[in-house]
Amino acid sequence: MAIQDIYPTALRLLGRPVLVVGGGPVAARRAKGLLDAGAKVTVVAPVASEKLRALVDSGLLAWEPREYRTEDLDGVWFVQTATGTAAVDTRVAADAEAQRIWCVNASDHEASAAWTPAVAEVDDVKIAINAGGDPRRAMALRDAVATALETGDLPLRRHRKPEDKGSVALIGGGPGDSGLITVRGRRLLGQADVVVADRLGPRELLKELAPDVRIIEVGKTPGHHPVPQLEINRILVEEALKGNRVVRLKGGDPYVLGRGGEEAEFCRQNGVGVEVVSGVTSAISVPAAAGIPVTHRGLAKGFSVVTGHEELSEVPARPDHTVVLLMGVAQLCDSAAALAASGLPLDTPVGIVEKGYLPEQRVTIGTLGTIADQAEAVGVANPAVIVIGDVVRVSPFAPEHFKTADYSTITPNRPRVRTN
């Protein structure tokens, strides 16, 4: 049988009687698939495998513990042979052909009237692949297609909208690099009808959306919020109530200084289903892009994440407690002074990472006493993450005199000795 002779279709077997001849592992797999399709399954085989017996004991199918008879075909819609004996499978297939019943002959795919494809399900999409009678090839292709759907590389978006109202997904897109969005986030983005986009999300992914996907820009810059938060909340609910799948694409993580909690609460209050997809927060990932861990054995066991607009008096003023400032460039001078007033030494290392993970990434390293002047001199601008603490010494961008005698994981409890 050539692949050109195949007419792809899908059978609706819900409530219809089908026959499986054979009791081994293949028969068990095929019986399970037919049960999943809602068929009424009868198995004919002298001996049944453990998995088949489990299905029988659960009352999910009927088992006739004997050899096959021609009359077993009476009234069935579909037959699967899997005896492992070619002569028996051929006889079943011939009987089925005589009665115009579709039959899959597991012993001879070339002579089989029907083929069983390799199948996978992603959401409500079922993938079925035939590959010229080569089951391993079909399975490899099936897995590749399923993975592409799962990751958003292939579109899962519905073009026929369901009758019920839509939904909202709050997706953290990471610090801006399109490769740092989660698999779940990428998948939901590919299903969106409407995307409400921030300025700092993975903007390159917007170019990959279908032309009819509406993109609503609500990005904010420091001191300039063209779309107020209450209006953003209203847009999310209004679009979902129209039946749209709405994605709120945010930078970083929606629950880390991202007002995602407010948006989720507003959706729920207005009867709109909302899913939150955590993202790679810039508070941790952007320092990592500059080789700065927010914790490190022998240097720091904890960290605090705050904005540059907040009071810093409650933050532990110790070099071994990392402070991460988000949106802190404009207030850097005041923030440094506040930390110094709380007792943080002026020689505490400070690193500023601008546009983390992007081609324009830039790293500026100084101390609590010098960093504000350095930032002004080089024109540091948002988006930027500021890291304050001894962990900055680990960065490959740190000057040599910042290095410590020991910041390894081999002997982390040795006292740190500074050379500056």
Find, among 154, 214, 213, 217, the residue nearest to 183 by Cα. Answer: 154
Dmax over CA atoms of the chain, in Å, equals: 93
> In sequence order, what E strands does 199-301 have?
214-217, 245-250, 273-277
With tokens 């994440």, the residue in question is 305
User: Which one of 89, 95, 193, 198 is the catalytic residue?
Assistant: 198
| CA dihedral over 14, 15, 17, 21, signed as positive or negative | positive
Residues 350, 43: Cα–Cα separation, whole Å: 71
| Known catalytic membership, residue 108 | no
Find, among 193, 151, 200, the residue nearest to 173 by Cα. Answer: 200
> In this structure, what token pair is assigned to residue 225?
């919020």
| Known catalytic membership, residue 177 | no
Residues 410, 62: Cα–Cα separation, whole Å: 63
Number of helices (H) and strands (E) in the chain: give both, helices first.
Answer: 10, 17
77 pairs with which residues across the strands? none
Strands of the 194-197 sheet, one edge to the other: 214-217, 194-197, 245-250, 167-172, 273-277
Find, among 156, 98, 151, the residue nearest to 123 by Cα. Answer: 156
- Judge contact between 245 and 167, C-beta under 8 A: yes
Contact partners, residue 68, CB within 8 Å, separation at least 6: 21, 44, 83, 88, 91, 92
User: Which one of 32, 51, 165, 220 is the catalytic residue?
Assistant: 220
Please give the span between the terminal C-alpha atoms of the chain, in angstroms, as a whole number.
79
Residues 410, 298: Cα–Cα separation, whole Å: 10
Catalytic residues: 198, 220
